């Protein structure tokens, strides 16, 4: 597989906060990449890529080390390293080297770079690797339920390791099943295609879109806090509900959505626990007549509507 596209994307997205000198060096080793940034002079670890990967296997997140202890025979200096995990699998590593010791500010810069790197790796894998057609929903061309579980686990694992926040928006197209039963599958598909079209045009490139069932959609919003996700859900809902769809029998059908929003939080032990919160939020929106947004307030551990009022099931 040609990885040059990934290299180019990584080179374009590296932040200036690291202020390194010299070129960026990439090398794929056993389907994983080692990403070495020389701060001053030649980076001694580039030639040691194969030998160093097992060392990174034992690390979790960022770490400081004396250069000689990390790479015997490399000489003096300091190392700031970071492992990159995706879906629980070590996919790569970053090693920074310079003669003077690294600081906590340097570590923050590396963590920022790691976040961008993981985002680019995730995006590249999704859209450039050969994928099974069964991973996609035919009506919308969104990822399906099978891919969703892998993607959510990957996001949850990254959050546990690196603290990369994300939010989820889960919604149901109200009355779609009734349309399917009474008007037939072609009419239901027309509605789904409109929903999918509006979602594609409204979301960011970094957002991941999923079709989970006949009437259910979900979005993973990387780097998005709860408040921003709720506002985004409101704008997306308004955008989709503004459509009138002319179905097979000539009728005009309005679209309404019951939405739930939740942010990853320290008290969540698993992706399943996060989905339970979303399910309860969507149920609360439906119970209030549909075309509503309910979010899980992590601070108060309560369901609330878009105006901030508490909602009971």
What are 209-225's pLDDT values in tens digits?
Answer: 999 989 999 999 988 99
Q: What is the pLDDT of residue 205?
A: 79
| H or E element in which residue 69 lies | helix 67-70
What are 79-107's pLDDT values in tens digits?
Answer: 777 777 766 666 666 767 677 787 887 77
Give how far Cα 51 sits from Cα of 46, 55, 77, Å. 10, 8, 19
- The structure tokens 């979010």 sit at 295
Angle, CA of 112, 115 and 120, to the nearest 5°: 130
pTM, 2 dp:
0.66
Average pLDDT, the chain: 77
Checking if the pLDDT of 55 tops 70, the result is: no
Structure tokens at 85: 């995990």
Structure tokens at 201: 């045009």
Checking if the pLDDT of 248 tops 50, the result is: yes
Structure tokens at 238: 């308004």
Domains along the sequence of the chain with CATH: 4-128 (3.30.450.40), 134-311 (3.30.70.270)
């Amino acid at each position: 597989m040609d990885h040059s596209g990934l290299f180019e994307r990584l080179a374009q997205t590296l932040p200036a906060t690291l202020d390194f000198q010299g070129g960026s060096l990439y090398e794929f080793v056993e389907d994983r990449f080692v990403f070495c940034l020389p701060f001053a002079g030649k980076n001694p670890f580039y030639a040691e890529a194969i030998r160093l990967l097992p060392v990174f296997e034992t690390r979790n997140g960022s770490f400081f080390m004396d250069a000689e202890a990390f790479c015997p025979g490399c000489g003096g200096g300091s190392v700031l390293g970071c492992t990159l995990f995706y879906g629980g699998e070590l996919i790569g590593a970053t090693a920074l080297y310079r003669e003077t010791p690294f600081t906590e500010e340097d570590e923050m810069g590396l963590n920022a770079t790691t976040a961008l790197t993981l985002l680019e790796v995730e995006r590249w894998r999704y859209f450039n690797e050969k994928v099974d057609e069964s991973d996609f929903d035919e009506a919308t061309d969104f990822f399906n339920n099978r891919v969703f579980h892998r993607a959510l686990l990957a996001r949850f694992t990254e959050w546990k390791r690196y603290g990369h926040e994300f939010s989820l928006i889960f919604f149901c197209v109200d009355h779609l099943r009734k349309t399917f039963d009474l008007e037939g599958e072609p009419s239901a598909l027309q509605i789904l295609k409109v929903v999918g079209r509006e979602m594609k045009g409204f979301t960011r490139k970094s957002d991941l879109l999923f079709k989970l069932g006949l009437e259910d959609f979900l979005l993973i919003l990387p780097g998005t806090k709860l408040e921003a996700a709720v506002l985004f859900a409101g704008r997306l809902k308004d955008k989709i509900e503004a459509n009138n769809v002319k179905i097979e029998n000539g009728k005009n059908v309005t679209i309404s959505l019951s939405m739930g929003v939740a942010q990853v939080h320290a008290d969540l032990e698993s992706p399943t626990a996060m989905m339970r919160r979303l399910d309860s939020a969507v149920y609360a929106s439906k119970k209030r007549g549909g075309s509503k947004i309910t979010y899980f307030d992590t601070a108060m551990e309560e369901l609330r509507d878009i105006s901030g009022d508490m909602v009971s099931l």
